[in-house]
Amino acid sequence: MSYQRSFDCSLGTSKATCASVGYKFFDAAGAQIGARITSGIINGGGGTFVAASATVPDAARLIRWDSGDTPLAEASEAINTAAELDGRGIAAAMIERLKVSGTNLRVTDTRRRISISEGD
């Protein structure tokens, strides 16, 4: 099951006006998952870029940003690490337990911080 998360990266001030920034997800073996994504990316200024609501595949273990121009600038971040996955697993188990008692909750994963709040 995929989930939504925001990401950001810095490609350096020389890429501050770059309009071809994108990112790709990779699995634990280093194989690319899906196509390069260029939509939904916000230029935060100074060479910083933000993907406000990326859909992360469960198998993804790395996000790799690139400038899409020459010379190419890249940045990467490990994702879905054991600690992150364990945290979501614990939160999901807590929610299932609370659903039994009639409480409806949702989990929000924001920059590796997991919050539990009342759901709809």
- Number of Cβ atoms within 10 Å of the Cβ of 75: 19
Q: What pTM, to 2 d.p., does this model score?
A: 0.69
Q: Do 52 and 96 reside in the same domain of the chain?
A: no
List the domain range (segments joined by +) for residue 62.
3-78
Mean pLDDT of 84-99: 57
Q: What DSSP assignment string belongs to 12-72? A: -GGGTT-S--EEEEE-TTS-EEEEEE-TTEEEEETTEEEEEEEEE-TT--EEEEE-SSSS-
Tally the domains of the chain: 2
Domain match, 59 and 98 both: no
pLDDT in tens, 25-52: 999 899 999 999 999 999 999 989 998 7
